[in-house]
């Protein structure tokens, strides 16, 4: 492949996917059909606890994040696992069509799963939109804006005197002279190309 980085130019947003008992940050969301109840696709990393929950519940909500979203939302749904904490304890939720959605969002979409495709690393869920609402019409948080301003949303610390590799997607820190070529972020699943070297003397 000549340069895979072109895939980073795919325009994406940042969303929180929730089911009845858990949720996580997702970016691969698309409307893939027209009509009154369009189909919405979303890819969820298989290693994510939320992926199992969607499989069981057959229904999910997508809360659309705005630029003004609190770092706490990114931290809770992007950097922590529902296996370890109850994510819903940390945030303000509304109940819509039997599912929790984030109050701190531009609005939500509720979908019923009608199909799923195993893509290897992720499960691509195809959902039919059954309910939706707009809370406010302010700037949406795009994946690109998040990348350019991630220091405002995620916090990480590196140890002094050690060579650290920081995942630019989620803030996960790996210590070591070299980052192996096949390295995969254990927190968010991205490859080596998303890591930046930091050396604090």
The residues binding Fe ion (CB under 5 A) are 167, 169-170, 172, 185, 187-188
74 vs 170 by CB, closer to Fe ion? 170
- Least distance in Å: CB of 155 to Fe ion? 14
Is 84 exposed, middle or buried, given 0-12, 13-18 or 19+ CB atoms closer than 10 A? exposed
- Identity of the residue, 53 or 170, whose beta carbon is nearer to Fe ion in the bound complex: 170
CB of 24 or CB of 188, closer to Fe ion: 188
Residue 110 CB, shortest distance to Fe ion, in Å, is 28
Q: How far is the CB of 187 from Fe ion (least distance, A)?
A: 5
Task: Using only the alpha carbons of the chain, give its radius of gyration.
Answer: 17
Do residues 163 and 199 lie in contact, with contact meaning Cβ atoms separated by under 8 Å? yes
- How many residues are listed for the chain in this entry? 201
Cβ–Cβ < 8 Å for 78, 188: yes
| Structure tokens given for 196 | 């930046």
Q: Looking up tokens 């696992």, which residue turns up?
A: 81
Give the separation between CA 89 and CA 45, rounded to whole angstroms. Answer: 23
Closest separation in Å from C-beta 118 to Fe ion? 22
Q: Which residue has the tokens 């003004």?
A: 68
Cβ 186 to Fe ion, closest distance in Å? 8
Give the nearer residue to Fe ion in terms of CB position, either 39 or 143. 143
Element (H, E) at 147: helix 143-148
Q: Which is nearer to Fe ion, 109 or 185 (CB)?
A: 185
């Amino acid at each position: 492949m000549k340069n895979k980085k072109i895939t980073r130019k795919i325009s994406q947003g940042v969303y929180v996917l929730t089911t009845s008992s858990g949720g996580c940050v997702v970016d691969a969301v698309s409307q893939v059909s027209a009509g009154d109840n369009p189909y919405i696709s979303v890819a969820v990393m298989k290693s994510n606890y939320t992926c199992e929950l969607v499989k069981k519940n057959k229904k999910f909500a997508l809360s659309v994040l705005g630029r003004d979203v609190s770092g706490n939302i990114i931290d809770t749904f992007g950097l922590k696992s529902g296996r370890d904490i109850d994510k819903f304890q940390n945030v303000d939720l509304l109940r819509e069509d039997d599912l929790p959605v984030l109050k701190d969002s531009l609005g939500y979409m509720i979908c019923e799963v009608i199909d799923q495709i195993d893509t290897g690393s992720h499960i691509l869920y195809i959902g039919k939109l059954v309910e939706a609402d707009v809370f406010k019409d302010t700037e949406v948080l795009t994946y690109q804006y998040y990348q350019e301003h991630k220091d405002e949303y995620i916090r990480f610390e590196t140890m002094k005197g050690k060579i650290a590799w920081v995942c630019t997607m989620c803030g996960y820190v790996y210590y070591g002279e070299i980052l192996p070529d096949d390295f995969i972020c254990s927190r968010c699943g991205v490859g080596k190309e998303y890591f930046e070297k930091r050396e604090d003397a």
